[in-house]
A = this chain, B = another copy of it.
Amino acid sequence: MSDFFLLNTDSQSQGRAGLLKTGHGEIETPTFMPVGTGGAVKGITPAQLKETGANVVLANTYHLMLRPGVEVVEALGGLHGLMSWDGPILTDSGGYQIFSLSRLAKIDDGGVEFASHIDGARIVLDAEKATRIQNRLGADIIMCLDQCTSFPVEAGELKTAVDRTIAWAKRCKTAHANGNQHLFAIVQGAIDLEMRTYCARELVKLDFDGYALGGLGLGEGHENMIRTVGHTTALLPQDKPRYLMGAGTPTDIIAAVRAGIDMFDCVLPTRNGRNAFAFTRTGPVRLRNNAHISSTEPIEAGCDCYCCRNFCRGSLRHFFNTSEMLGPILVSIHNLRFYQRLMTRIREKLKAGEFSAWADKIQHITP
């Protein structure tokens, strides 16, 4: 499949602007995918989400396979039907959630057995099943099952996880049976550059539609993450999209674009939004702060989001102070729009050949 097109590459970094075609529309890259874990971006309707500029959304296979289950999602018209989202969707494989949320019972080369974080039910997942489930959920981009390691990780354990990630990716590719979906492999290897090299090379031999970087943002720190990203993207084919899973802050995103990443997802805009933390060009605004009690200023002057066009900081502070749902909703909308404005600016700068100079400047003032 050749559905990814590079529009421009940055002469002074690994940054690139591109276009990824999917069955539900085109994605301009670099792109940021809001997280709709169980089929909904928390508190945000699809209409509001579209208004923030999002054009691709992430959902979690792990959550969806537990509730409502793949049969129900299919009955409701697939993930697009469940979510009422007609744009592109990406599902992760469940690998990360199994390691972070469930009680892991058993893992071997065959697959994983784990206890659901909801009711403790025993569930078995392997490469074939993870792929079939995603085939049936019907996202436009799906991920291979991988084994994520925690940070730090012992060398032997890391090697085993990387070998398994490679072997499972091969099995996922064989099992993949939905031609409307792009299948991405996940490069693991923690911050061990030799392991990243090994994993990337083996996966590239298998020829996937795109490549993700997993196992980062787990406590290794910004510098380690970006060094690992830059090392790894250099080993990946230019003509395939690269996706840094779970990242990140605006600073992380700018640095990772510079290091050659095309796609991002992160819960920060919505999770922080629910906690009264707003992103702005000049740094975070914490809306519970008493300083905002009588403020008629919007969260961010000049922001074109629904929240900033209609609500002042004083109102938002009041909504958080009185536990009104509208506080979390409005600040999530602002933060999602902030991220999309950032991505639009990044794409513009990449296309205009001005990215590196801009990134040098912006990184000192971006939260």
Instruction: Given A294-B75, A318-B67, answer yes or no on A42-B310 (Cβ-Cβ < 8 Å).
Output: no
A40 contacts B by Cβ under 8 Å: yes
Q: Are B83 and A324 in contact (CB under 8 A)?
A: no
- The docked-state distance in angstroms from the alpha carbon of A293 to that of B72 is 7
Number of chain A residues close to chain B: CB under 8 A: 42
- The docked-state distance in angstroms from the alpha carbon of A84 to that of B72 is 39
Instruction: Given A326-B43, A326-B45, A329-B43, answer yes or no on A318-B84 (Cβ-Cβ < 8 Å).
Output: no
What is the CB-to-nearest-CB distance from A306 to chain B, in angstroms, rounded to a whole number? 7
Instruction: Given A76-B294, A312-B76, answer yes or no on A318-B42 (Cβ-Cβ < 8 Å).
Output: no
Instruction: Please pick, from B38, B42, B77, the residue contacting A296 in the complex, using a CB distance under 8 A.
Output: B77
- The docked-state distance in angstroms from the alpha carbon of A42 to that of B321 is 14
A5 contacts B by Cβ under 8 Å: no
Q: Are B84 and A310 in contact (CB under 8 A)?
A: yes
Q: Are A314 and B76 in contact (CB under 8 A)?
A: yes
Instruction: Given A294-B72, A324-B38, answer yes or no on A47-B312 (Cβ-Cβ < 8 Å).
Output: no
Q: Name the interface residues of A1-50: CB closer than 8 Å to any CB of B.
A: 38-40, 42-48
Instruction: Please pick, from B47, B312, B322, the residue contacting A306 in the complex, using a CB distance under 8 A.
Output: B47
- The docked-state distance in angstroms from the alpha carbon of A306 to that of B51 is 15
Instruction: Please pick, from B47, B81, B296, the residue contacting A315 in the complex, using a CB distance under 8 A.
Output: B81
Q: Name the interface residues of A37-77: CB closer than 8 Å to any CB of B.
A: 38-40, 42-48, 63, 67-68, 71-72, 75-77
What is the CB-to-nearest-CB distance from A298 to chain B, in angstroms, rounded to a whole number? 11
- The docked-state distance in angstroms from the alpha carbon of A268 to that of B247 is 42
A343 contacts B by Cβ under 8 Å: no
- The docked-state distance in angstroms from the alpha carbon of A133 to that of B310 is 24
Q: Are A296 and B40 in contact (CB under 8 A)?
A: no
A311 contacts B by Cβ under 8 Å: yes
A330 contacts B by Cβ under 8 Å: yes
What is the CB-to-nearest-CB distance from A47 to chain B, in angstroms, rounded to a whole number? 7
A82 contacts B by Cβ under 8 Å: yes
A153 contacts B by Cβ under 8 Å: no
What is the CB-to-nearest-CB distance from A118 to chain B, in angstroms, rounded to a whole number? 9
A198 contacts B by Cβ under 8 Å: no
A101 contacts B by Cβ under 8 Å: no
Contact with B along A287-328 (1 / 0, CB 8 A): 000000110100000000010001110110111011011101
Inter-chain contacts of A47 with B (CB < 8 A) = 306, 310
What is the CB-to-nearest-CB distance from A139 to chain B, in angstroms, rounded to a whole number? 16
- The docked-state distance in angstroms from the alpha carbon of A81 to that of B325 is 18
Inter-chain contacts of A46 with B (CB < 8 A) = 310
Name 26 interchain pairs, CB-CB below 8 A, sorted by A: A38-B324, A39-B315, A39-B318, A43-B325, A43-B326, A44-B326, A45-B48, A45-B310, A47-B310, A63-B322, A68-B314, A68-B317, A68-B318, A68-B321, A72-B318, A75-B294, A76-B312, A76-B314, A76-B318, A81-B296, A81-B315, A82-B314, A83-B315, A325-B325, A325-B329, A329-B329
A42-B326, A72-B294 given. 11 additional CB < 8 A pairs?
Answer: A38-B318, A39-B318, A45-B48, A45-B306, A45-B326, A45-B330, A67-B321, A67-B322, A81-B312, A83-B315, A84-B311
